[in-house]
Structure 1
Amino acid sequence: MTTNSSYPLSKRQRTVKSRSLSFNLLCVLRSERQRNAIPLGHLLERLGERSFGWAILLSSLINLLPLPPGATLVTAIPLVFFSVQLVLGRSYIWLPPWIAKRSLSRSALRNTVLRLRPISRRLERLTRPRLQIVFEPKVERLVGLVLLCIALALFVPLPLSGWFPAISLFITGIGFVERDGLVVIAGLGLGLASIVLTVLVALSVAAGAETIMH
C-alpha cells in the first residue's frame, strides 16, 4: 500500500509508524527469548524479508554491541559483503551459510536496540517515502560503493573509530527500510564524515608514534 505524503498522518498512524522498526525488532527478539543467540539469517526471516535495509541495519547493530578491541575486523565483513552485492545491482540479499549462521546475542542485541531508541524513534517519526531516485538501480550502485567505503573504515583498529561509521550505517539502514532517500543521503554523509575523522585520528596516532620514537 502506498502512503500519500501530501496528507498528514493521524495520531494513531504516527504512533504505529514511530515504532515500526525498533518495536518490530524488539517483538521478534522477545518471541525468541528461549534462545541465548539468534542466527542472522533466521532473524532476517523473522522480520519478514531479506532486504538490504534490514541487513545493513542489523549488521550495523552488531558493530555497536560491546565488543573487545579489534572485533570489528570480523563483524564488519557482512557489511562489506552486503555493500558489494548492492554495487553489483542485486535486488535482494543473498546470504552464504557462514553469514546466515552467524549468531547474535539476543540480550546484547536487545540492549543495543533499546539504547539506540532515542535516535531510531526520532528518525522514524520523520521518515516517509521520498527521493525515490536514490533507489533507482544505477544510483543504488553508487550508494553501495559509498557504503563499501564506510564499511571498510570499520577495519581500522583505533579506539571508538568504528562507532561513527556504524551509527551512519544504522541511519542508512533505516532510510532503506523506510524507502526514504533523504535519510539514506544523511546516513551516507555522516559516514563520509566518519571516514575523514578516522583518517585524521589515524594520522594523529601515526604522528604521535613517530614523535615518541624520535
Structure 2
Amino acid sequence: MTPVSTPLPPDENRTFSDVLESLGHGADPKLTLREMVEAFGERGFGAVILMLSLMALLPWPPGGKAVFSVPIILIAAEMALQRDKVWLPRWLMKATIGRETYRRLLASHFAAPRWLRRWILLGELPIGFGRWSARYGFSDWVRHAVRKRPDSPTALALLRRAERLTRPRLPIMTGEAADVVIGVICILLAMMMALPVPFGDALPGLTLVVFGLGIIQRDGVFILAGLVGTAICGVYVALVWTTVVAIIHGVGHWFGALF
C-alpha cells in the first residue's frame, strides 16, 4: 500500500519559500496540487495567482495566455466572494509531480531559457532596415550573464531574496474588505492578459505577480504597488484601443476617398 503523506497544518507565519521547501519532504513520493493548496491555507489564493501569473509570463503561442487567464479569473472570483479556501476542479487537484523532481526544481540554478541563451550566445540583434540596417553583437557581460553557471543562485534562493523586500505592512490593505476589491481587480487584469494587445499580457501579468506576493506576505505596500500597476495597465490598454480605432477610421476614410 502506497503511503499517503499528511500535509502540514497551514502556518500563516511561514514564508512562501519555507512552505515550498517543506512540501518537498513527505512519505508519499508524489506531491499533489491539493497538498500544495492546503499547505498555504488562506494564502492559497495568492500562491495560486502568483504561480499561474509567473507561468503566463513565459513565451506562449497566440491564445496561450487565455489558458492561464481562466483559472486566475476563477481563483480571483473565489477570493472576491470571501471563500475560506481555494476551490479547483477535482481532476486538477489530483495533478501530481514527483517529490524528487520537485526538490530538483527548487534546487536548480537559475539560468535564462535555452532558446534565449542560444540566441544571445550565437546570434546577433538586427537594428534598422534596408540600407540603414546593422547587426548588434551582444557584449561579453551580457553573454556571461545568460550562461548556465553552477554558482548562479537557485530558484528557491531567488524567491527568498524577493521575500526580503516584503513583510506584513498596512493591514488595512490586506483585510477582508480589501480582498473583495483585490479579487475584482485581479479578474480585470486576467481579462486584460488574454487580450491580443502588443505587450498587453506582460503588464497585467507582472501586476498579478505583485498582487500575489502582497497577498501571500500580507504586504500592503505591494498591494498599493499592484494598484498603481493596474492603473498603468488600464491607461496602456486604453491608449492601444484608441490608436487601433483611429487607424481603422483612417483606413475607412482612405477607402471611402478612393471610391
Give the TM-score normalised by the residue count of structure 1: 0.69
Q: Is the 8 A contact 2:78 2:86 kept in 1?
A: yes
Aligned length: 191
Which of these residues, 176, 188, 206, is aligned with residue 227 of structure 2? 188
Which of these residues, 49, 60, 72, is aligned with residue 56 of structure 1? 49
Partner-residue secondary structure (3-state), 1:126: coil
Q: Is the 8 A contact 2:174 2:219 kept in 1?
A: no
TM-fit CA distance, 1:138: 1.7
Partner-residue secondary structure (3-state), 2:164: helix
- The 2-side partners of 1:124 and 1:61 are apart by 15
Unaligned runs of 5+ in 1: 4-16
- Aligned residue in 2 for 1:84: 77
Whichever residue aligns with residue 87 of structure 1, its letter is A
- The 1-side partners of 2:181 and 2:96 are apart by 30
Unaligned runs of 5+ in 2: 1-10, 113-154, 255-259
1:1-214 equivalences under 5 Å are 21=16, 41=34, 44=37, 48-49=40-41, 51-97=44-90, 99-100=92-93, 123-213=162-252, 214=254
Q: Is the 8 A contact 2:32 2:96 kept in 1?
A: yes
Name whichever of 202-211 and 150-159 sits farther off.
202-211
Q: Is the 8 A contact 1:56 1:173 kept in 2?
A: yes
- The 2-side partners of 1:160 and 1:117 are apart by 28
Whichever residue aligns with residue 180 of structure 2, its letter is R
Q: Is the 8 A contact 1:54 1:177 kept in 2?
A: yes
Whichever residue aligns with residue 242 of structure 2, its letter is L
| Offset from partner CA, 1:32-51 (integer Å, 9 cap, x none) | xx99xx97556545x65471
- The 2-side partners of 1:58 and 1:139 are apart by 21
- The 2-side partners of 1:74 and 1:49 are apart by 25
Whichever residue aligns with residue 189 of structure 2, its letter is I
TM-fit CA distance, 1:22: 6.0
Q: Is the 8 A contact 2:57 2:205 kept in 1?
A: yes
TM-fit CA distance, 1:65: 1.8
Structure 1 121/48 Cα, relative in aligned 2: closer, same or farther at 3 Å? closer
TM-fit CA distance, 1:142: 1.5
- The 1-side partners of 2:12 and 2:54 are apart by 29
Higher relative contact order (CA 8 A, sep 6+): 1
TM-fit CA distance, 1:63: 1.2
Partner-residue secondary structure (3-state), 1:182: helix
Structure 1 40/75 Cα, relative in aligned 2: closer, same or farther at 3 Å? farther
Q: Is the 8 A contact 1:172 1:184 kept in 2?
A: yes
Asked which structure has the greater CA Rg, the reply is 2
Structure 1 88/71 Cα, relative in aligned 2: closer, same or farther at 3 Å? same
Structure 1 132/91 Cα, relative in aligned 2: closer, same or farther at 3 Å? farther
| Offset from partner CA, 1:18-76 (integer Å, 9 cap, x none) | xx5468658969x9xx99xx97556545x654711101101111211221112222220
Q: Is the 8 A contact 2:169 2:221 kept in 1?
A: yes
Q: Is the 8 A contact 1:150 1:192 kept in 2?
A: no
Q: Tell me the percent identity.
A: 29
Give the TM-score normalised by the residue count of structure 2: 0.59
TM-fit CA distance, 1:89: 1.0
Higher helix share: 1
Structure 1 132/74 Cα, relative in aligned 2: closer, same or farther at 3 Å? same
- Aligned residue in 2 for 1:14: none
